[in-house]
A and B are shown apart, each in its own frame.
Chain A
Amino acid sequence: MVNMKATAKTKGFPLPSSLKVVPGTESLQAAYPYYMQFSKEDDERFWFYNSMHFPEPMCLFDMITAEAAYCALGSANTRVHSLPTTLGIDCRIINGRVYIGGNAVTDPAEIERRTKEFQLRAFYYYANWERLFAQWKVKMMTLIRETEALPKLELPEFEPLEHVHAGRGVASNHYILDTYQKTLEGYFRMWQHHFEFLLLGYGAYLTFFDFCKKAFPEISDQTVARMVAGIEAEIFRPDDELRRLAKCAIDLGVENQFREGVSPDEVLKSLEQLGEPGAAWLKELAVSRDPWFNINVGDGFYHNHRSWNDDLTMPFAALPGYIANAKNGVRLERQTDRLMAERKQLIADYRELLETDEERAAYDQMIELAHRVFPYVEGHKFYCEHWYTNLFFNKIREFGGLLAQKGFFAKAEDVFQLSHYELESAIVDLMTSWSNGSPPRGISRWPAIVRERKAAIAEWAKHETAPALGPVPDIIDDPAIVMLWGITRENLDAWLTAGEQPNSNEIRGFAASNGVVEGTARVVKSVDEIGRLRKGDILVCQITNPSWAPVFQNIAAAVSDIGGSMSHAAIVAREYGLPAVVGTGTATQKIKDGQRIRVDGGRGVVTLLG
């Protein structure tokens, strides 16, 4: 099996030790935890840049996402389910870029020992999937409600009299630290929940996927995905809610309030002035917002990926389009009955093409398992990466607000320039200051550091980074790496040769959604740039995201650097019938903003036209 520790050294990527910290940013680099810094021994191993999850330089606080996620992924693989051939993921950061490497198990005896454990553990999960998943939802909702119920951060001049009379005996400063620690604990716990089913779910899906690829060598990835994908998955709900709200606006006769270029605040104000029908629509909006607007404009891994609830710009920008469609007679609701019937037909049609009844029986077994696991695969993201990360980052923002108020920062957002360890120290500083009446020590320390760090992050964003580091492994079949990142030996070869064909006007990736379109490329390097997209543009980004769904009604096609045919981007593109090519590795570097390109989503090819 794998060797992520490569043997052949004929051709490789730059060694970690050859990467230089961008001059002038050394102190920020040093502020990242010691266990995430590259060291000499790391040159022996293969690493790749996880631009799928972390496409922009990571500020210090946000590294908690990598920490908590890999910690939970590793425990699920290594200790809980005992995946036979792989342990967890190692993680390093340099210049704000997150590199990761798998930890393969290669000793046959060890694989056998782990296989026995795996069958006692993972097989139990598969066999009891529905019950355990129902339990998971309860756990996850409990966690969400607990976090929502965390106390507001208050440091009054005098402890409230009722606390004193009740003999609470614990002062408010203690609860600031307590709440902070509970906030962190919740985030680490959420990621544990996130990985409870993930690899097993992907594995069961991939089992069916592999079968289809062998039985039908030319079947497209998206066709297999269509056979398994749920029709009413949570991830479609936010967009569904927008369609519903568009229809409500028409039914209530308030649709003229929604015009392109009018800010959400203006729309809300004008609705309030409309009396009854306006109020009725606002009531519907409130229904949709909790919980379905808890969806981020990113993957939820960065603090600046705000949710629709935090910023109504994205959903409100989509409403005029949906309203216009409805008025033109386009049916807005997704036709779930029809989609369900199509899926059933698709499964039956492919089944019929199999050569023998034996193969049909195996097909039935595998698709049954894929259908069993898929609600989790599709559904967990909304609860974990969207709803919960929102709650979490907003809670941290509250700490930022409190610290800013006390003079630690110029504004609340600055809190994300501290690591979670540093933030705890600032909180203890604040607690102490509140207790002893002296000014906090941090007010003379943090503002300058925050300024310097922000400049360093901005500098890092200007520098491209190598897609991978170290020797190329002979083979990659670490199920975690293949499943989650779509990285295969073929990918790596393509990355290696990318530099050798400077004149090639073709970029290749995974065929994610069928169709051929020519248009103007809009290279969007961060979510803040979404506003530059115009109708008919082709979105070119490092990673597409399903919460950008409303954007998909305007764009003509989507191209991404990283992502497999299972990425939510691919799913949404198919849903909208837009051509999409994902996992190109280099599209955002090779395609110039404004350039004309052709996207062939069926072949997975992007052609530069001018």
Chain B
Amino acid sequence: MRSSETIGWFADIGLADRPTVGGKGGSLGELTRASIAVPPGFVVRTGAFERFLSPLEQQEPIRAKVETLGADQLEQITALSKHLRARLESAALPDDLHSELVAAHTELCGADPNSHVAVRSSATTEDAEDASFAGLQDTYLWVKDAQATLNFVRSCWASLYSVPSIAYRRKHGLPESGVAMAVVIQRMVNARTAGVMFTRSPLTGDRSVITIEGAWGLGSSVVGGEVTPDRFVIGKITGEISVREISDKHVQHLPATNGGVREVETPENLRRAPSLSDAEIVALRDIARRVERHYGRPQDIEWAVDHSGEILLLQSRPETVWSSRDRAPVATPAENPLEHVMKIFGGRR
């Protein structure tokens, strides 16, 4: 099945397509194009959202109504949000859209009854570097079949009209016409180990190291802070592993039988065992370097290692904390290069 106005397979899209595939979708496409392994998937483009929304708008205005509200009218926002979300979540998809999405889902998952997908909102207004707004969007993990998938696609769309989302847009005076939602549909990885990594030190901002945090099972335990992950620091250039902090990983997240994620106790023999081998740490570093080079700036990356040992990236976004800091240069060139030695010989440093 080819990409279209409605569907964008990862291999066919990139960051330039962000207006129709959103930040998350564009990033996954970009990684795929850079030959970085990500779990396969596609984006339900904003075109699909418009096709879904326009009959609803005809029945009863949506965007115009939101724009009548002020950011401080919390009561009215709450009432409207409740109303709009109920409408969006219960509305049927137009038939042709429905069959296109089911076909794409079938192509992605095949007939495998055990295949699950993640459904993630990928907002186009989502300023990729504005974590506060990005965090307002939804993610649904371990979604079981096409029907459930479509339900969550609608939930993602409806989340555009959550109270915080509306309030945020009203506060910043964002026009509603520009508000659209793309949705990423992606095969789940049954991760043996998963976590995050930064292509600089979160502690010192050092760009010559990569910091990796990982724990057993799905990455949600690390991202959600449910477990203290193992922490590794590896030289970006040297490949030397300088820190190996193995923590007590008392719980892990696993896929639940009926979709979603369950938290279970980690078996005793694994709790204090390293969740990554040295070879995997080195492989993660190679991937991190490629991603950083591709984007030309430090990255904040989510990754997973599946049970066959394959490493997949789930997400990569620009690192924001250190990148936005102003820093005095460590040194500036001297007219006489010998002046530099006065830092050592010249007195208290």
Contact A477 B341 (CB under 8 A): no
Contact of B327 among A84, A346, A355 (CB under 8 A): A355
Contact A603 B242 (CB under 8 A): yes
Closest to A127 in B: B338
Contact B233 A368 (CB under 8 A): no
What residues of A have a CB within 8 angstroms of the CB of B327 in the complex? 355
Q: A84 CA to B341 CA in the complex, in Å?
A: 12
Q: A469 CA to B229 CA in the complex, in Å?
A: 44
Contact A215 B209 (CB under 8 A): no
What residues of A have a CB within 8 angstroms of the CB of B337 in the complex? 365-366, 368-369
Nearest first, the 7 A-B pairs at minimum CB distance are A361-B333, A365-B337, A362-B331, A217-B204, A216-B208, A349-B237, A218-B206
Contact B343 A220 (CB under 8 A): no
Contact A346 B330 (CB under 8 A): no
Minimum distance in angstroms from B114 CB to a CB of chain A:
39
Query: Is there a chain A Cβ closer than 8 Å to B144's Cβ?
Result: no
What residues of A have a CB within 8 angstroms of the CB of B334 in the complex? 362, 365
Contact with B along A504-544 (1 / 0, CB 8 A): 00000001001000000000000000000000000000000
**Known A218-B242, A477-B348; contact A210-B343, beta-carbon cutoff 8 A:** yes
Q: Which of B208, B235, B327, B341 has the most CB of A within 10 A?
A: B341
Within 8 A of B (CB), among A84-99: 84-85
Q: A328 CA to B237 CA in the complex, in Å?
A: 31
**Known A217-B201, A218-B206; contact A123-B330, beta-carbon cutoff 8 A:** no
Query: Number of residues in A with C-beta < 8 Å to the partner?
Result: 51
What residues of B have a CB within 8 angstroms of the CB of A216 in the complex? 206-209
Contact B208 A350 (CB under 8 A): yes
Q: A600 CA to B205 CA in the complex, in Å?
A: 24
Contact of B341 among A2, A126, A349, A350 (CB under 8 A): A126
Contact A85 B237 (CB under 8 A): no
Contact A362 B332 (CB under 8 A): yes
Instruction: List the one stretch of A130-138, A199-207, A393-401 in contact with chain B.
Output: A199-207
Return 15 A-B CB contacts under 8 Å, by A number. A115-B342, A123-B338, A207-B340, A207-B344, A218-B242, A219-B208, A353-B207, A354-B330, A355-B329, A365-B337, A369-B338, A479-B345, A602-B240, A602-B242, A603-B243
Query: Is there a chain B Cβ closer than 8 Å to A140's Cβ?
Result: no
Closest to A600 in B: B244
Minimum distance in angstroms from A581 CB to a CB of chain B:
13
Contact of B333 among A207, A354, A358, A603 (CB under 8 A): A358
Contact of A118 among B332, B345, B348 (CB under 8 A): B345
**Known A207-B341, A216-B208, A217-B201; contact A353-B330, beta-carbon cutoff 8 A:** no
Q: A350 CA to B208 CA in the complex, in Å?
A: 7
Query: Is there a chain A Cβ closer than 8 Å to B236's Cβ?
Result: yes
Q: A346 CA to B208 CA in the complex, in Å?
A: 11
Contact B347 A85 (CB under 8 A): yes
Contact with A along B318-339 (1 / 0, CB 8 A): 0000000001011111101110
Contact A85 B345 (CB under 8 A): yes
Closest to A208 in B: B340
Contact B330 A359 (CB under 8 A): yes
Within 8 A of B (CB), among A357-396: 358-359, 361-366, 368-369
Query: Is there a chain B Cβ closer than 8 Å to A312's Cβ?
Result: no
Query: Is there a chain A Cβ closer than 8 Å to B241's Cβ?
Result: yes
Closest to A366 in B: B340
Minimum distance in angstroms from B230 CB to a CB of chain A:
15
Closest to B238 in A: A223
What residues of B have a CB within 8 angstroms of the CB of A350 in the complex? 208, 237
Closest to B242 in A: A602
Q: A203 CA to B343 CA in the complex, in Å?
A: 9
Contact B208 A358 (CB under 8 A): no
Query: Is there a chain A Cβ closer than 8 Å to B65's Cβ?
Result: no
Within 8 A of B (CB), among A162-221: 200, 203-204, 206-207, 210-211, 214-220
What residues of B have a CB within 8 angstroms of the CB of A349 in the complex? 237
What residues of A have a CB within 8 angstroms of the CB of B201 in the complex? 217-218
Q: A1 CA to B348 CA in the complex, in Å?
A: 5
What residues of A have a CB within 8 angstroms of the CB of B333 in the complex? 358, 361-362, 364-365
Q: A298 CA to B242 CA in the complex, in Å?
A: 31
Closest to A123 in B: B338
**Known A602-B240, A602-B241; contact A218-B204, beta-carbon cutoff 8 A:** yes
Query: Is there a chain A Cβ closer than 8 Å to B349's Cβ?
Result: yes
Closest to A361 in B: B333
Minimum distance in angstroms from B343 CB to a CB of chain A:
6
Q: A83 CA to B346 CA in the complex, in Å?
A: 8
What residues of A have a CB within 8 angstroms of the CB of B240 in the complex? 220, 223, 514, 602
Contact B345 A203 (CB under 8 A): yes
Within 8 A of A (CB), among B207-266: 207-209, 233, 235-238, 240-243
Contact B341 A204 (CB under 8 A): yes
Contact A83 B340 (CB under 8 A): no
**Known A216-B206, A353-B236, A369-B337; contact A1-B347, beta-carbon cutoff 8 A:** yes
Query: Is there a chain B Cβ closer than 8 Å to A551's Cβ?
Result: no
Q: A362 CA to B330 CA in the complex, in Å?
A: 9
Q: A10 CA to B207 CA in the complex, in Å?
A: 40
**Known A365-B333, A475-B348, A514-B240; contact A218-B340, beta-carbon cutoff 8 A:** no
Contact A346 B349 (CB under 8 A): no
Within 8 A of B (CB), among A293-346: 346
Query: Is there a chain B Cβ closer than 8 Å to A111's Cβ?
Result: yes
**Known A126-B341, A346-B237, A362-B340; contact A217-B206, beta-carbon cutoff 8 A:** yes
What residues of B have a CB within 8 angstroms of the CB of A369 in the complex? 337-338, 340-341
**Known A203-B341, A349-B237, A477-B349; contact A359-B331, beta-carbon cutoff 8 A:** yes
Closest to A365 in B: B337
Q: A525 CA to B50 CA in the complex, in Å?
A: 80
Query: Is there a chain B Cβ closer than 8 Å to A559's Cβ?
Result: no
Contact B208 A85 (CB under 8 A): no
Query: Is there a chain B Cβ closer than 8 Å to A356's Cβ?
Result: yes
Minimum distance in angstroms from A130 CB to a CB of chain B:
15
